[in-house]
Amino acid sequence: MRMYYSRLKLASVLGVCLLGLLLCLPNGMRKPLPSIPWRQIHLGLDLRGGSYLLMQVDLQSLTHDRLQTLSENTRDALLNAHLGYQNITVDAQKGVISFMPRSASEADADVAALNALPRAVPNEFSVSRREDGSIALVLAPESIRTRAREAVTQSIEIVRRRIDGTGAVDPEITRQGDDRIVVELPGISDPDRIKALLGTTAKMSFHLVDANPLHATYPPQGVSLLQMANPAEGSPLPVFDHVDVDGSDLTNAGAVIDQQSGKWAVSFSFDSTGTHAFAAVTQANVGKRFAIVLDNKIIEAPVIMSPITGGNGQITGGFDAQKATDLALMLRAGALPAPLSVIEQRSIGPSLGADSIRAGIISLAVGFIMVVAFMVLFYGRFGWYADFALLANLVLMVAILSLFEATLTLPGMAGMLLTLGMAVDANILINERIREEIARGRTPLAAMQTGFEKATSTIIDSNATALLAHVMLFVFGTGPVRGFALTITIGIVTTLFTTLLLSRMLMARWYARTRPTSLPV
């Protein structure tokens, strides 16, 4: 490596530094110019303040819903096979569906029909005959755990889509344990709307209403009495349990103004599967009531006036603008596989965030000043060059964090301070190598060139191992650990640039201009 910089190389190094400075500017401006796509660093929960929610997935409800689906599938499978049954019961605690066959001679056929049912996961359930003559479908414990893990993963994605739809900036959503989800919302001190969004399963389905007036008091098997979402709209209605159209077939939903009433409503549209099912049920049931059910409550139950074949519809349930927007958002994001309940909630006020920011800035400034003083005291002019490279290192770190709109937390600020210390180590190593070469009687130019060449391989090796370690921390870590690892990883890259290119350029330009007989180191 020669101590020579071409004009192109010189312009490239300075251009990177100037670009970094430009990217840093928005972080010091309250309202950047709207015509320029500025990007800024977002402050984390510990710096900006906000809300912390610990939510738990109701796995028992998940198992109950799956058993109800299997119970309905069991009835359909037996009827399609022309097999009878008696007294189907569901035991959600034990994960068992049991029934008595119509006759002992049909027992083997019953078992074969149930074994042919599709399984959501491999080996989800087993079917066997009991000593009392009944037949039992038993969920495997491992399949329940597998579905629970899948439900939590799915819930995290749906929670993320719902929160993103509210405009919350850089929320942190992570898994905790087997059935819990941590939601951190920087800048949101009143999370009531978020809690309402996340606490609603938003499982929508369409069912025909049982027109028999006696069933409104004594519903038979296969019919359930469901409350109206708005109790003022009437008493509970008997609704067939069979789902005629599933809300999971929705492709879009939005808040609109109803042209007839002038009130807020929610429009929706189906995919091809939903469109076909919706058209079939409305064509076959003109004049009957069709209930729109959300989380086991009836939003409305209009009469089917004519077949609806376009795959579009509208829900008018006495909404205001906020409720219509939130319902549309939940329908677009999808239904949660199981209800979520808030088991812990904490709010961090902005004063705590301001104190944390002040403490972090003070520690960063004090550490930087002490490093600058140390380098100037021990290495003179070359110490000043190292300090300039150190300042450029800090600017480039902030620039890269701004470019990716990263979230800065207290551990992240600690990582920045540690990076500055690591950058100083590299400059110290170079200067000490140059001192050694001077002591051996080399000329100033030879001492500088040899010092850089011998120190470069050591600097690259040490930073490469640190880079790999912190990349693994970022990949496998969560929360504060990832914030710390991110700033260190970026800092290592900027350290290599400023130490091996910028500080070397400053020394080379100084030597080319002055041609000294001795080095100030």
pLDDT of residue 396 exceeding 90, the answer is yes
Q: 116: part of which helix (H) or strand (E)?
A: none
Q: How far apart are CA 24 and CA 31, in angstroms?
A: 14
pLDDT above 70 coverage of the chain, percent: 95
**Nearest Cα residue to 197 out of 231, 163, 167, 220:** 163
pLDDT tens, 443-470? 888 888 888 888 888 888 888 888 998 8
Q: Coil, helix or strand for 56?
A: strand
Q: How far apart are CA 507 and CA 1, in angstroms?
A: 14
Q: How far apart are CA 87 and CA 70, in angstroms?
A: 15
- Tokens matching residue 81: 């096979």
Torsion region of 250: left, alpha or beta (phi above 0 gives left; psi -120 to 50 gives alpha): beta
- 229-266: burial string, b at 16+ Cβ within 10 Å, e else: beeeeeebbbbbeeebbbbebbeebebeebeeeeebbb
pLDDT tens, 172-210? 888 887 788 888 888 776 677 777 777 777 778 889 999
- The pLDDT of residue 209 is 92
Least confident window among 22-31, 417-426, 436-445: 22-31
Q: How far apart are CA 489 and CA 501, in angstroms?
A: 18
pLDDT of residue 418 exceeding 90, the answer is no
- Tokens matching residue 134: 């009944």
pLDDT tens, 309-367? 888 888 776 778 888 888 788 877 777 788 888 888 877 766 555 676 777 778 778 87
Q: How far apart are CA 417 and CA 364, in angstroms?
A: 6
pLDDT above 90 coverage of the chain, percent: 7
pTM, two decimal places: 0.61
Q: For 114-131, what is the mean pLDDT?
A: 86
- The pLDDT of residue 356 is 67
pLDDT band at 16 (very low <50, low <70, confident <90, very high): very high
- The pLDDT of residue 1 is 47
User: 469 and 425 in contact (C-beta within 8 Å)?
Assistant: no
CA distances from 290 to 72, 209, 224 (A): 20, 6, 14
